[in-house]
Amino acid sequence: MPPLLLDSSGGTTYNNFVADSFGDIKSTVGAHNLSTHPRNEENTPVPRVNNSPLTFAELIELLQNQATPPAIDQINSWLSAADISRADLEPYLGFKEGNYWRHRVCRNEAVEMLVICWRPGQKTPIHDHNGSHGVVRVQEGLMWETIFVYDDERGLCYKSGRECPCGEITGAEVPDIHQLGNPDVSGQDLITIHVYAPPLGVLKTYKVGSAQVETYTPNDFPT
């Protein structure tokens, strides 16, 4: 299945958005279980009143109550319904030079949420999520996303690219190969909110025109 909301019609295409390293993760809230194998229990929803928007605290509680990985459509719905302010994210904000910075909000066996902060020009390597699906909400700034396909004979090939402005929500099913980042011409910082189910483990990384596939495990507790 192709990634959700990733058609490039009406968007700005680009094909030179390349990086070579993942950002570190700053753990603001302690991890619970780091296993990506969920328990076989039913998920517990947070009660809603009159379809009111989710607060950020309610979104965290909802995710922490999940016992099995929620579907990508469900995650998309939650992030779309959430009312999240800059003040809500303040404990998870921090930028650094050289690479983007990942800040963990919550994580259990079924799902995790990160806030990622990007200076202009910072971006991920080309990667997939190796069995996890994910949804990204652009909270502030402008995000570029490039989609790739893997061909057994030609290796990794460019497919499409698009701009994701503030407020955009985009997600990727399995399999997916893409690259995200803050274009150096944006002139502004980028803040994104990411939800992955199950939590990310070992990721695969790729290079355009190459059949070589490497692996990478994000460091949850960098020093």
The pLDDT tens digits of the residues spanning 37-73 come to 333 345 555 545 456 899 999 999 999 999 999 999 9
Residue 135 lies in a domain: yes
The whole-number pLDDT of residue 217 equals: 81
Residue 16 lies in a domain: no
Q: What is the pTM of this model?
A: 0.78
Here the CATH number for the domain that contains residue 143 is 2.60.120.10
Query: How far are the Cα atoms of 3, 20, 90, 100 from residue 97, in angstroms, in the given order?
Result: 30, 15, 19, 8
Residue 44 lies in a domain: no
The pLDDT tens digits of the residues spanning 71-124 come to 999 999 999 999 999 999 999 999 999 899 999 999 999 999 999 999 999 999
| Type of residue at 185 | V
**Cα–Cα–Cα angle for 211, 217, 219, rounded to 5 degrees:** 145
Q: Domain total for the chain?
A: 1
Average pLDDT, rounded, for the chain: 81
